[in-house]
Amino acid sequence: MSRMLLHICCGPCAPYVVEQLKKEYEVTLYFYNPNIHPYEEYERRLAEARRLALDSDLPFMEEKYDPDNWLTATKGFENEPEKGKRCEVCFDIRLSKTADTAARKGFDVFAAVLSISPHKDSVVINRVGASAGDNHGVKFLEANWKKKEGFKITTRMADSIGFYRQNYCGCVFSLRTRNKRETEKRNA
Ligand code: SF4
């Protein structure tokens, strides 16, 4: 079986993707998410990702949390909407690190859970992933996991496990957007 490094950013999105990929690959879960803010939220998502690895009997790797580098790289894109330019930079930071680690540790291929989210553009994720793979000499598995009811299925699986489900994408800017939305709803 080929060895795969699978980028994961939380527990609830991933069960379906992990279940599918395990059939064809020897999967290692890889947590590199310097975008997540605040640190307490990072720890919470990390704990759920670890729990999935344990439940699925898969190896787990955590990369160092370096939010300052992420903030520097996304400077100027603070006011972009979700699915905009900031997200593309964010995917690139995370998938480039995944590709680099995959190449250095001798994995045959790397992939990401990201495209399962209805809020994320799989075309952009696949373009960014393929380019990161080319730069580091390791293959990226292109996918659109939300297809064929993927998101619904993974949500059902996650709910049955009882995973914590976040209500914003992850970065400080998406958190602000969520807070603004909630305030507007309350004041409507
Ligand atoms: S909204 Fe999500 S994908 Fe976009 S920059 Fe923030 S954390 Fe990254």
Find the 58 Cα to ligand 1 centroid distance in Å.
Answer: 26
Q: Which residues on neighbouring strands pair with residue 25, listed in sequence order? A: 2
pLDDT at residue number 56:
96
Nearest ligand 1 atom to the CA of 36 is 7
Q: Is the pLDDT of residue 172 over 90?
A: yes
**Sequence-ordered list of residues with C-beta below 8 angstroms from that of 32, at least 6 positions apart, any chain:** 7, 62, 63, 94, 97, 98, 101
- Contact between 132 and 92 under an 8 Å Cβ cutoff? The reply is yes
Q: Is the pLDDT of residue 188 over 90?
A: no
- Alpha-helical segments (H) within 9-121: 15-22, 39-56, 67-73, 85-104
Find the 17 Cα to ligand 1 centroid distance in Å.
Answer: 20
What integer is the mean pLDDT of 73-87?
Answer: 95
| pLDDT tens-digit map of 93-111 | 999 999 999 999 999 999 9
| pLDDT tens-digit map of 123-170 | 999 999 999 999 999 999 999 999 999 999 999 999 999 999 999 999
Find the 42 Cα to ligand 1 centroid distance in Å.
Answer: 13
Nearest ligand 1 atom to the CA of 173 is 6
| pLDDT tens-digit map of 23-44 | 999 999 999 999 999 999 999 9
- Kindly state the helix (H) or strand (E) to which residue 124 belongs, with its residue range: helix 122-136
CATH homologous superfamily for the domain 2-187: HUPs (3.40.50.620)
State how far Cα 71 lies from the chain centre. 17
pLDDT at residue number 70:
97
The whole-angstrom separation of Cα 47 and Cα 39 is: 12
